[in-house]
Amino acid sequence: MSEPASTFPSESKPVGSASSAGSAESQPVEPAGPDRPAVAPPLRPRVRAEILIVLGLSLGQAAVTAVLQLLHRLSLDVPLGEQTAAINPSRAPTATLDLIFQVTSIVFTVLPVALAIYLLASTRRRAMARIGLNLAQPARDVGHGFALAALIGIPGLGLYLAGRALGVTVEVQAATLDMHWWTVPILVLSALQYGLIEEVIVVAYLFEKLEELAWHPMAIVVTSALLRATYHLYQGFGPFVGNLIMGLIFAEYYRRRRRVMPLVVAHMLLDLVAFLGYFLLPDSILAAVGL
């Protein structure tokens, strides 16, 4: 799925260990956040390597693939607006094998989230608490999630329809699974997987790690948004713009609140509406709204 991970520099050791305490204390440490000092310069190559590995195993790889897919689409004789992209397709002709493929795909897709959390846990604070991926504020997280979903979803649909009208966005088929007893649960899990991998890695993990490298907060917000927009390029230029705006809003929310859970909730809600709506609504209704 990805290239072999790079070896960490041999001199890199956790801050505070006996062998690195002297060198780390002698280096200037810039403030990276409310209680997150930037790592000492000798340790920064390790942080950069971690970021490249995590992104290379997940959405960085997806961004490169999306760019190549867009170039391929543009090279075809069929106009971009007449092409399609399926997000949740069937993967096998038999129901049981298809279910196994679906479950294993979700599990392996989410694994980089576990890696990101593990790497964040190497600091003094627990990773879940550090990024706000917990149930400490359930009512507020759900409320903010619904508000963010409404803020993004309605204009996002407008941008998609505008892109379709202009011929710069492909027809996105959000769910093309066959009807089985497990189809709806799999679509729910699919929405959860995208919420976790995109918000935990592209927002929370990237924000925390780039702060350790003493990046300016606004540079992190823009970088996060550009990455999100890029790995959606396989859908065309409309989704690129829509996801760029979504990325700016979500990354800025995280910068201010330091909680990723509302972003996961919002993302999951957006995908649930798209996946279940596409799967359950009659074709006549989908056609009436331009889908």
- pLDDT for the residue 285: 61
For residue 218, the 8-state DSSP code is H
- pLDDT for the residue 5: 39
Which one has a higher pLDDT value, 10 or 171?
171
**Pairwise CA distance, residues 171 & 18, whole Å:** 58
Structure confidence at residue 123 as a pLDDT band (50, 70, 90): low
Question: Cα–Cα distances in Å, from 283 out to 224, 277, 286?
Answer: 36, 10, 5
Query: Tell me: the pLDDT tens digits for 144-188?
Result: 999 999 999 989 989 999 999 999 999 998 878 888 999 999 999
- pLDDT for the residue 126: 87
Structure confidence at residue 286 as a pLDDT band (50, 70, 90): low
Share of the chain above pLDDT 90, in %: 72
Average pLDDT over residues 111-136: 89
Of 257, 198, 260, 250, which is closest to residue 222 (Cα–Cα)? 250
Which one has a higher pLDDT value, 285 or 120?
120
- pLDDT for the residue 169: 96
**Pairwise CA distance, residues 268 & 140, whole Å:** 16
Average pLDDT over residues 195-209: 98
Query: Tell me: the pLDDT tens digits for 11-61?
Result: 333 333 333 334 333 333 334 555 556 778 878 999 999 999 999 999 999
| 3 has a pLDDT exceeding 90 | no
- pLDDT for the residue 232: 97
**Pairwise CA distance, residues 227 & 241, whole Å:** 12
**Pairwise CA distance, residues 224 & 174, whole Å:** 24
- Give the sign of the dihedral formed by CA 228, CA 234, CA 240, CA 242: negative
CA dihedral 149, 153, 155, 157 (to 10 degrees): 180
Share of the chain above pLDDT 70, in %: 82
How much is the CA Rg of the chain, to the nearest whole Å? 20
H-only helix segments in 132-282 = 138-166, 183-196, 206-212, 217-230, 237-257, 261-280
- The DSSP H or E segment spanning 171 is strand 171-173
Average pLDDT over residues 210-220: 96
- pLDDT for the residue 134: 95
- Among the residue ranges 39-48, 56-65, 137-146, 216-225, the one predicted with the least confidence is 39-48
- Give the sign of the dihedral formed by CA 90, CA 95, CA 96, CA 99: positive
What pTM was computed for the model? 0.84
**Pairwise CA distance, residues 116 & 187, whole Å:** 24
Neighbours of 118 (CB within 10 A): 11
**Pairwise CA distance, residues 32 & 198, whole Å:** 23
**Pairwise CA distance, residues 188 & 69, whole Å:** 26
